[in-house]
Amino acid sequence: MVEPISSHSILRIEDLHAHYGKIHVLQGVNLEIPAGGAVALLGRNGVGKSTTLRSALHLMPRSRGRIYFNGEDITALKPERLAGLGIGYVPQGRGIFPLLSVMDNLTLGLRSKPDPNILDEVFTRFPRLKERLSQKGGTLSGGEQQMLAIGRCLMMSPRLLILDEPTEGIMPILVADIRRTIQSINQSGVSVLLVEQNVKTALKICHQTYIMEKGSIAFEGASADLRKQPETIHRYLGLSLDAA
């Protein structure tokens, strides 16, 4: 039986606080991703989107907060255990290994030999990667590096894929490709948390949208509703949807 999307949450972030030195950068972030859902986290530059992801994933210290994955309290979990649990994370700037080949980048994090079926699936999604298996990651184009970073997560068969600005610096024609890929990954049952500057792309992919302002969530709602509220988008993001 297919579970209804909102039956339970795959990730819940509760009252997350974090500091950089004395600066109280996250001031109580609350966010929930329904199992199977796609959720956008939007906000102007520097409001704390990437910090929210890093802090939720325990890649930096937190001052307060609890994190639940699929109902399990993972607040104290070490970040190296996340992939095994089913959480894939593509950091802003992609985080691939520039001197390693495409193939080595794809298989680096695996404990055992790559599953040929999963490898095939990644190559079906990203045929460009298959054509460039021995090319060094750092010599790929920006869009191809993004595909490699997403492909590397898919090798671990994630249940949740967290993407920090996957379309940043990518030419418009590839942005649509990446958008369709994320949509199709989500439709295959993988939940998605997407941080994006490109509001149109985010609203197309995600059912639910959160907007951050200075360290906390200022708006939460269905993407379909937000699309009908250009004044909200303008107020929090400083842009009009036509120009986005």
CB burial of 141-150 (b: ≥16 within 10 Å; e: otherwise) equals: eebbbbbbbb
**Contact status, residue 53 vs residue 89, Cβ threshold 8 Å:** yes
Window contacting ligand ATP (CB under 6 A); options: 46-54, 98-106, 119-127, 231-239: 46-54
**Contact status, residue 156 vs residue 125, Cβ threshold 8 Å:** no
Q: Does 27 engage in binding with ligand ATP (CB under 6 A)? A: no
The C-alpha torsion from 2 through 6 and 13 to 57, rounded to 10°, is 20
Q: Does 45 engage in binding with ligand ATP (CB under 6 A)? A: yes
Window contacting ligand ATP (CB under 6 A); options: 48-56, 64-72, 76-84, 186-194: 48-56
Q: Does 48 engage in binding with ligand ATP (CB under 6 A)? A: yes
Of 182, 242, 243, 238, nearest to 42 (Cα)? Answer: 238
Q: With CB cut-offs between 5 and 8 Å by kind, which of Mg ion, ligand ATP, none does residue 183 bind?
A: none
Closer residue to ligand ATP (CB): 45 or 112:
45
Closer residue to ligand ATP (CB): 47 or 175:
47
Half-sphere exposure of 91 (CA within 13 A, CB side): 10
Closer residue to Mg ion (CB): 91 or 230:
91
Closer residue to ligand ATP (CB): 19 or 136:
19
CB of 52 to Mg ion, least distance (A): 9
Give residues in contact with ligand ATP (CB under 6 A): 20, 25, 43, 45-51, 92
